[in-house]
Amino acid sequence: MTPWLSYVTRHDTLVVMISTTRTLDLADQRITFVEHGSTAAPALLLLHGGAVDRRMWHRQLEAFPNHRVLAVDARGHGGSSDAERPYRLCDDVVALMDELEIEEAVLVGISMGGGTAVDVALEHPGRAKALVVGGTGTSEPEFTDPWVLRTFADWKAAELGGDLEAWVEVFQRFTAGQHRDLAAVDPEVVQLIGTMARDTVSQHLRLGADGLPLPPLPPTPVTSTWERLGRIRIPVLAVIGEHDGDDHREMGRRLAASVAGPSRVVEIPGAAHYPNLEHPVAFNRAVQSLLDES
């Protein structure tokens, strides 16, 4: 365990809060996460996007001092283990919750993590108290816009060519978003996204005999997610970055319009796919509003 101390003044009282990086060996995986804050309910589970890791949440860990906050590495990312047999990301989240005796949590996810959050609500009713979803609608994203289709094609070509820097360069298009250049993004955000992506490749991607990367075992998909959104009756907040891809933005709106529970859409000006990193104050305020209402 690696502890950090932070100090929060609350009503003139000095409160010591400890962030701890923990690794747990569960039945078929090793899972790493950072835990911060009190044990008060509900807990917040922060679920990162694909190719990055728990470090994308560093601007949220201390933002909710009245809650237990956990930023979790998904399989094949960060300090968590790679997949050796079929798995589902939503089941991994619930397995961690079971191990930590967390019956119910607010799930906050961006991109892949947002899809995982929705899957937990669909596949494990009663375990999600509320959802905050950004950069997607469900774990079955639907893309039709030429910009995103071209980006995915270029990303795949860089992967097949074994060109790590080209792979990261294409990936950073999502950091910038569809309607602006990467130069408009805070360099610290760009650097962090690039570092996490490179670490994902270097730590979790195996090479074949030909020297080319072997694709990791993908999670078993959860299906019919869009058709089942009407079963979700818990509060849902869809967070949309102003500069995110048009398809990503539309899926967030569709999610909010499709669930049966209370829902709303918040757009973060000046942000793209990672609004929690680009404009953490606005993002955290939106999450806190959901917590206050839940």
Q: Could you give the percent of the chain with pLDDT greater than 90?
A: 81
pLDDT in tens, 190-245: 999 999 999 998 888 776 666 666 777 899 999 999 999 999 999 999 999 999 99
Report how far residue 87's alpha carbon sits from residue 90's, in angstroms, rounded to the nearest whole number: 9
pLDDT in tens, 55-76: 999 999 999 988 999 999 999 9
Report how far residue 147's alpha carbon sits from residue 222's, in angstroms, rounded to the nearest whole number: 26
| pLDDT of amino acid 213 | 64
Q: What is the mean pLDDT of the chain?
A: 91
- Sketch out the chain's domains with CATH numbers: 2-143+217-293 (3.40.50.1820), 146-204 (no CATH)
Evaluate the omega torsion of the peptide bond into residue 42 and state whether it is cis, within 30 degrees of 0: yes
Report how far residue 257's alpha carbon sits from residue 271's, in angstroms, rounded to the nearest whole number: 22
pLDDT in tens, 119-154: 999 999 999 999 999 999 999 999 999 999 999 999
Q: Are 22 and 35 in contact (CB under 8 A)?
A: yes
Is 12 a residue whose pLDDT tops 90? no
